[in-house]
């Protein structure tokens, strides 16, 4: 069995576009539609409950639309290297375990 980790960030907030965008230079990229098929056996949406760029209701809406597992990390802010999130050993371990099975 294979798994795919889906990490979403950069949607929302005053400096980042959402699924739609009015910024002229980015207009050709929007509206952004969510995929209808992730082409994975299992997918996980990982987010923080206090990300300044996307609110939890938007994340829950995306999770429901994609019908995937949701993992919420408490008080993680925007999940990136600058906020202390570098390599995620637990994801690497999950992937390695899937390939062993």
Note the pLDDT tens digit of each residue in 37-82: 777 777 888 889 998 877 888 888 888 888 888 999 999 988 888 8
Length of the chain counted residue by residue: 101
Q: Phi-psi category of 7—alpha, beta or left, where left has phi over 0 and alpha has psi -120 to 50? A: beta
pTM of the shown model: 0.64
Number of domains in the chain: 1
| Whole-number pLDDT of residue 18 | 56
Please determine, for residue 93, whether its predicted confidence score (pLDDT) is greater than 60: yes
**Model confidence pLDDT, tens digit, residues 9-48:** 444 444 444 555 666 776 666 556 777 777 777 788 888 9
CATH assignment of the domain containing 17 = 3.40.50.1820
Q: Residue 51 is part of which domain span? A: 3-100
């Amino acid at each position: 069995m294979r798994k795919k980790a889906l990490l979403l960030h950069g949607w929302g907030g005053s400096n980042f576009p959402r699924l739609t965008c009015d910024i002229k230079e980015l207009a050709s990229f929007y509206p952004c539609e969510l995929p209808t098929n992730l082409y994975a056996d299992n997918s996980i949406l990982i987010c923080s409950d206090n990300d300044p760029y996307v609110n939890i209701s938007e994340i829950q809406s995306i999770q429901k639309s994609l019908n995937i597992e949701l993992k919420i990390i408490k008080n993680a802010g925007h999940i990136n290297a600058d906020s202390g999130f570098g390599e995620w050993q637990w994801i690497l371990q999950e992937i390695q375990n899937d390939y062993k099975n």
